[in-house]
Structure 1
Amino acid sequence: MTTTMRSLLFVCSYLILCLQCGIWGLKPIGADWPTREFRAAWVATVADIDWPISSRHTSNQQQNEMIVLLDKLQDLNFNAVVFQVRCAGDAMYHSQIEPWSRYLTGVQGKAPSPYYDPLDFVVNEAHKRNMEVHAWFNPYRANTSPSRSGLAKNHMAIEYPQYAYTYGSDIYMDPGAKPVQDRAHDVIMDVVKRYNVDGVHMDDYFYPYPVSGVSFPDSHTYNAYRSAGGRLSHDNWRRENVNNLIQRLYSSIKTLKNDVKFGLSPFGIWKSGYPSGIVGFSSYDSQYADSRKWFMEGWVDYMNPQLYWRIDPPKQSYTHLMDWWLQQNTKHRHFYAGCYAGRVVNGGWPVSEIRRQVEESRDRNNQLSLGNVFFSAKYFRDNSKGLADMFKSDLYTVPALAPEMSWLNSTVPPPPSNVQASGNTVSWSPDSSGAVRSWAVYLQQADNWNLVKVLNKDTTGYTGLRGQYAITAVNRLSTESDAVIINVNSDQPVIG
């Protein structure tokens, strides 16, 4: 037998096998709506903004409140939450390093009773709903009060009082002090090691927002740096302190767990005047946050600047700023715009402004604008000004998988096995690889494969209308397996 004949026989055999098994190397995509989009809401725990509703509520009440919140976001086809676990040197989880948050129990250092671990609870419940959990940390804020009263013995301001400064109405740790840098790094890596989180996230609190007429009191730390031979100016030294923490965290996270994403949400204006025509607070000059550098160096997996302005005003424009940020993305990371959904309540915005912002983000999909994060979750839970209704009917009408991050080198999961149709139900075998986070169900409509359902890994069946379906396995980085194609020949109504 010639080499050509053997090759033809192999190809024919493979095609017959594919026809028998219904397995094809295709990635079904929808036409009208994004199949891939990051859809997240910040869940703020500081001052009980989003959750818990009250630190006086029982453990059972708090858990039920979280379930209500997650159920609502799932119903609206969100696929991620950014959950605040460290507000001010405290913990919304069991930690051997830092004390329990007073926003959970009313007393810093006091564990919930009956005991539960909020971060573990959120991770488990969110994953059941096919939602990522990004653990949100504040690296330097020590207290949302100028007083040290009520701080636990193992709080960082008590353990390192020489680096804890009352500044305005808060207490802040000194980002230039190595023990403070190490503390932030170690706290975050402890969570990455012990919890099944999908991402690590920090927002806009680096050096504190300036208090008028008052300098941040870190001169003794800077003078020690100069005495040791350092040559940077005070401002550049401050920026370098933050840069070092960001770069160190990215490296440490990828070394420990490459599939844990790292994202930052800085103030939306890097410098006043960038881009041309933008006027406003300069985070580079006042918070010493060189967020453009972090993006351009690829020290993040996603950049999520807080673009908390409307589209039309020229001095602070959502779209003008978004376009500038997208131009800085030299490493081709993901960009998710931060949107202030609460402005429909406290800023007089119409809900149509939020709709336009999502639409503008989608219009830049080919520039790696791949989603939005909204502040904050309670406005969707409460359907403020009809916000949730608008998302349900106009924006997030169908599910979406999170976008893939090609640079994280995800392994493709095995396709579903033993896929069968009986009546109007498709079923398949449970995952035996340990690699599957979810199952994606697509329906062929006209010439398109449209995503109709994302199911958690413990669900192994879907009931739907007559048609041709494609089932894929999805891992924690949203990498999909090849699709298994199967026909459903029943006209029974959808109940799955």
Structure 2
Amino acid sequence: MKKHLAWLCLLLFLVLEGCKSSKKPRTTPRDFGPMGMKREMRAVWIATVDNIDWPSRKNLPPAEQREEFIRLIETHKRMGINAVFVQVRAAADAFYARGEEPWSEWLTGKQGKAPEPFYDPLDFMIEECHRRGIEFHAWLNLNRTAHRASKSISNDNIGRKRPEWVFDYDGYKLFNFGLPEVRDYITSVTTNIVHEYDVDGIHFDDYFYPYTVTGQTLKDEEAYQQYGSRFRNKNDWRRDNVDKLIKQISDAITAEKPYVKFGVSPFGVWRNRKDDPSGSATEAGQTSYDNLYADTKKWMKAGWIDYLVPQVYFSTKFDKVPFKILTSWWLPYTYGRHLYIGQGPYRIGTEDKDRTWANPSELPNQMRFIRLNPEILGSVFFSSKSLIGNKLGHADSLRTNFYKDPAFPPTMPWKDHTAPLTPKNLQVKDTRDGVELRWAASEAARDGSLAHYYAVYRYSDSEAPRLLAGCYEGQTRALDKSAKRGRRYTYAVTALDRLHNESEPVLATVYARLARK
């Protein structure tokens, strides 16, 4: 972390929520922290392939790229978003400097060309997100070396350097996962990012083997003959290839940085019930298990991934794959890991055949259903541009209702369950500008970890505890400008670690005279 940012503290002054209905969603102990702070993943995908979300066009000057990204995350922060999944590898390319793959054409206009003037986008994005208390998950596309939208392919692209690793399918050039050296290569690329950058998570989307296209053939027969002799059929072999890749990457991430999260966002339908009695009551044309050869349910049960984000980009009234039916199917399959739901605001207000998306209440209805199920610990929205576009006011419903009060991401006790030590020596002082708070940093916990950030709460006889500030980058002071004259307040400061375990609070009380000029 940059030392010159040590005094940054983002004040999130909030208005207390009005009286709520007596019918409240069920909760579990994982939903709230020691001070009653809600825990929920609130994330958005930021797609870079073909300049979907960022940057807005190829070869945008670096200064404008940075300005765009800051505007983007500040907008999301105001909505209540606490994590971003940013695509840093779209087609065996890179939105970062410290790696072997060529620079992305969607960053500089030509694959292999570095930014001019030079900067490292990944370092920059991580720093700006962490300044604002936003988790940064590096999103990598696993399967392609060239996209159909690719206009520029460098001689340094691995698909050109190792053409025997790649086959053509539906206009794409795709990795052959059946080759051990391919799996080793992808693992190396992923682990390098974990080693070189301060990411909070590694994230893969739904592209493993490609979606089936009529008339197209996966050209992996030679690899199957070489490596698939012990399998009953080629489909089982392909699933095993992806299993091996996920397990290999999971182990490598844990060995490099145990606190880094690992998650996958598969196509939402694992299997249809007509093909498997344990499948969902859906009629999807393709499934993750049968077409993409991704047995995502198995990965959760085996503990290879920390979170799963099934892409449930369907409406509540879609007859073949209804949102509630599919979402409910996932509830028994969390196996103690995190389940978030991938939602599709990109479909809202479009000329979609499913007219349910023309209803302004569709996304709010989905959010209400999610909140009724404690097994679901958050949402991820595709994608940034659609969320910011706010068609039919869907983003307003998040900002003013569902995400009105802030939330920290939920903890992952299987990775770390030791809370930081409580901050010390909290001092509160009545000043003309507000109530000033200072405290001493927490000492190392018994596992050696230090506080990653601090939370400042306030309560009184007339108000329940509420978050006033999240203090990042080593900040140990805050200023409460919303305190009212003539009231007695109790302030609480807690320490949180990298995985959001929260300490017990240190408390101090002050009578706010606020002798302002």
Shorter-chain TM-score: what band? 0.7 to 0.9
- Equivalence for 1:68: 71
RMSD over equivalenced CA pairs, Å: 2.1
Contact preservation (8 Å) 2:104, 2:112: yes
Aligned residue type for 2:450: A
Instruction: Return 343-352 or 298-307, whichever deviates more.
Output: 343-352
Runs of 5+ consecutive residues of structure 1 not aligned to the other structure: 1-25
Pick one of 479, 482, 485 that aligns with 1:462: 479
TM-score under structure 2 normalisation?
0.84
Q: Does 1:292 align with 2:270?
A: no
Question: 1:384: how far off?
Answer: 3.4
Q: How does 1:411-426 map to 2 (within 5 A)?
A: 411-423=418-430, 424-426=435-437
- Equivalence for 2:20: none
Aligned residue type for 1:490: A
- 1:418 match: secondary structure: strand
Structure 1 residues 449, 160: closer, same or farther in 2, change over 3 A?
A: same
- Equivalence for 2:110: 107
Question: 1:113: how far off?
Answer: 0.7
Instruction: Return 40-49 or 386-395, whichever deviates more.
Output: 386-395
Cα deviation, 1:59-108, whole Å, max 9, x if unaligned, reads 00000000001111111121100011110100110133211111100100
Cα deviation, 1:322-356, whole Å, max 9, x if unaligned, reads 22111122x31010000011111434443421122
Question: 1:432: how far off?
Answer: 6.9
Aligned residue type for 2:346: G
Pick one of 421, 436, 441 that aligns with 2:456: 441
Structure 1 residues 146, 65: closer, same or farther in 2, change over 3 A?
A: closer
Equivalent-residue separation in structure 1 for 2:227 and 2:280 (angstroms):
36
- Equivalence for 1:265: 265
Contact preservation (8 Å) 1:51, 1:66: yes
Contact preservation (8 Å) 1:127, 1:456: yes
Q: How does 1:108-187 map to 2 (within 5 A)?
A: 108-145=111-148, 150-187=152-189
Contact preservation (8 Å) 1:141, 1:170: yes
Contact preservation (8 Å) 1:204, 1:265: yes
Contact preservation (8 Å) 1:146, 1:168: no
Identical-pair percentage: 36
Equivalent-residue separation in structure 1 for 2:220 and 2:279 (angstroms):
31
Structure 1 residues 117, 431: closer, same or farther in 2, change over 3 A?
A: farther
Equivalent-residue separation in structure 2 for 1:310 and 1:382 (angstroms):
19
Q: How does 1:473-484 map to 2 (within 5 A)?
A: 473-484=495-506
Instruction: Return 192-201 or 208-217, whichever deviates more.
Output: 208-217
Q: Does 1:91 align with 2:97?
A: no
- 1:332 match: secondary structure: coil
Cα deviation, 1:29-62, whole Å, max 9, x if unaligned, reads 05xxxx1000100010101111011122100000
Structure 1 residues 488, 374: closer, same or farther in 2, change over 3 A?
A: farther
Q: Does 1:46 align with 2:46?
A: no
Aligned residue type for 1:338: G
Q: How does 1:310-329 map to 2 (within 5 A)?
A: 310-329=315-334
Equivalent-residue separation in structure 2 for 1:435 and 1:377 (angstroms):
33
Runs of 5+ consecutive residues of structure 2 not aligned to the other structure: 1-32
Q: Does 1:218 align with 2:220?
A: yes
Aligned residue type for 1:192: V
Equivalent-residue separation in structure 2 for 1:300 and 1:483 (angstroms):
32
Equivalent-residue separation in structure 2 for 1:399 and 1:304 (angstroms):
21
Structure 1 residues 49, 431: closer, same or farther in 2, change over 3 A?
A: farther
Question: 1:206: how far off?
Answer: 0.3
Aligned residue type for 1:188: T
Contact preservation (8 Å) 2:459, 2:490: yes
- Equivalence for 2:22: none
Cα deviation, 1:100-143, whole Å, max 9, x if unaligned, reads 11110010001101111111111100000001001111111111
- Equivalence for 1:373: 380
Cα deviation, 1:174-232, whole Å, max 9, x if unaligned, reads 11112211111000000001111000100100001111122211111111224xx4334
Runs (4+) of structure 1 exceeding 6 A deviation are: none
Question: 1:292: how far off?
Answer: 1.2
Contact preservation (8 Å) 1:146, 1:166: no
Structure 1 residues 427, 296: closer, same or farther in 2, change over 3 A?
A: same
- 2:348 match: secondary structure: helix
Equivalent-residue separation in structure 2 for 1:345 and 1:193 (angstroms):
42
Contact preservation (8 Å) 1:140, 1:184: no
Question: 1:275: how far off?
Answer: 4.2
Contact preservation (8 Å) 1:430, 1:457: no
- 1:249 match: secondary structure: helix
- 1:103 match: secondary structure: helix
- 1:55 match: secondary structure: coil
- Equivalence for 2:246: 246
Pick one of 30, 33, 36 that aligns with 1:29: 36
Question: 1:374: how far off?
Answer: 0.4
Pick one of 342, 363, 366 that aligns with 1:338: 342
- Equivalence for 1:19: none
Contact preservation (8 Å) 1:29, 1:451: no
Instruction: Return 209-218 or 432-441, whichever deviates more.
Output: 432-441
Contact preservation (8 Å) 2:62, 2:116: yes
Pick one of 268, 275, 282 that aligns with 1:278: 282
Contact preservation (8 Å) 2:426, 2:440: yes
Cα deviation, 1:393-416, whole Å, max 9, x if unaligned, reads 111112111100111124322322
Aligned residue type for 1:449: P
- Equivalence for 2:362: 353
Aligned residue type for 1:427: R
Structure 1 residues 112, 431: closer, same or farther in 2, change over 3 A?
A: farther
Contact preservation (8 Å) 1:436, 1:457: no
Aligned residue type for 1:462: L
Equivalent-residue separation in structure 2 for 1:470 and 1:100 (angstroms):
46
Select the structure that is richer in helix.
1
Equivalent-residue separation in structure 2 for 1:161 and 1:300 (angstroms):
30
Equivalent-residue separation in structure 1 for 2:283 and 2:319 (angstroms):
9
- Equivalence for 1:8: none
- 1:222 match: secondary structure: helix
- 2:467 match: secondary structure: strand
Equivalent-residue separation in structure 2 for 1:411 and 1:401 (angstroms):
17
Structure 1 residues 161, 376: closer, same or farther in 2, change over 3 A?
A: same
TM-score under structure 1 normalisation?
0.88
